[in-house]
Structure 1
Amino acid sequence: MSEFSKALSVSSSGLQAQAQRLQHVSENIANADTPGYRRKTVAFETALGLRDAVGTVETGPVRLDRSELQRVYDPGHPLADESGHFDGSNVDLMIEIADAREAQRSYEANLKMFDQTRQMSSRLMELLRR
């Protein structure tokens, strides 16, 4: 496998991992007001290829945040107990927005690396044709 192919493989795996991370962040934001919803988190893992030993990025298993659910006081809510409280979600929108920005920037960096590698490969081919 050429060095260009290895670089493209690493950057494309980063693109896929960040896209999946953004998907979970968007699910968290969409369910911020859903009673009993637990925030989803995903970790990244390094995967080594068997033949070429190229380290790529993969997402690990999706985990639910086990922090305590927010207690919400709303006596008119159908899920409210006798004290008028129910369990809300444990999604903090500020954390989700920060995670989304970080994932977006990482995605853009991987995309730029992919594009630069592709451009270098094209220019090398042009030089070899001469």
Structure 2
Amino acid sequence: MSAFSDALSVTAAGLKAQATRLRLVSENIANMDTPGFRRKSAPFAVDRSDSGLDMVKTGRVQLDRSDLERVYDPSHPLADETGYYEGSNVDLVIEMADAREAQRSYEANLKMFDQTRQMSSSLMELLRR
């Protein structure tokens, strides 16, 4: 049964990593019109568990250091004397692509989790006979 629990642990780690990624994407989209907001991301890393399994985990949240968009709006309270202020560096197209990729990865991990659970249940049913 250890192989089943190992497989469930690995897929659960993948689900958690993709959920974190989706959370950051949604934060980015929610703040794309916030002046001075920098896009957030979290890199994936491999973590060796106590049982010797290599599992994915997310690293520390990082801020995108690319230039902020310059927005012309002289009536904005943050505008300088030329009428510009710094917007965010969030690109909706990139965020939507990241969300789609994270969603598909999450679904694949969920399917693997479900398959492992079904195999474990089937094995238990066979052992009861």
Fold-level similarity (TM above 0.5): yes
Please name the residue that 1:71 is paired with.
Answer: 70
1:129 shift after superposition? 1.0
The percent identity for this pair of structures is 71
Structure 2 CA distance for aligned equivalents of residues 34 and 26 of structure 1: 14
Q: Secondary structure at the match of 1:6?
A: helix
Residue deviations 1:50-109 (CA, integer Å, cap 9, x gap): 2x2111111100000000000000011110000000000000000000000000000000
* 1:29-44 superposed matches below 5 A: 29-44=29-44
The question of 1:113 aligning with 2:118 is answered no
For 1:36 and 1:47, locate their aligned partners in 2 and report how far apart those are by CA, in whole Å.
Answer: 33
Measured in 2, the distance between the counterparts of 1:4 and 1:54 equals 13
Q: Which amino acid aligns with 2:34?
A: T
What SS class does the counterpart of residue 32 from structure 2 fall into?
coil
Normalised by the length of structure 1, the TM-score is: 0.97
1:20-53 CA distance string (max 9 Å, x none): 1100000000000000000001111111112x21
- So what's the TM-score if we normalise by structure 2? 0.98
1:77 partner SS: coil
Letter in 2 for 1:35: P
Structure 2, gaps ≥5 residues long: none
**What is the count of residue pairs matched by the alignment?**
129
Q: Structure 1 regions of 5+ residues with no counterpart?
A: none
Separation (CA, whole Å) in 1 of partners of 2:111 and 2:25:
22
The secondary structure found in structure 2 opposite 1:61 is coil
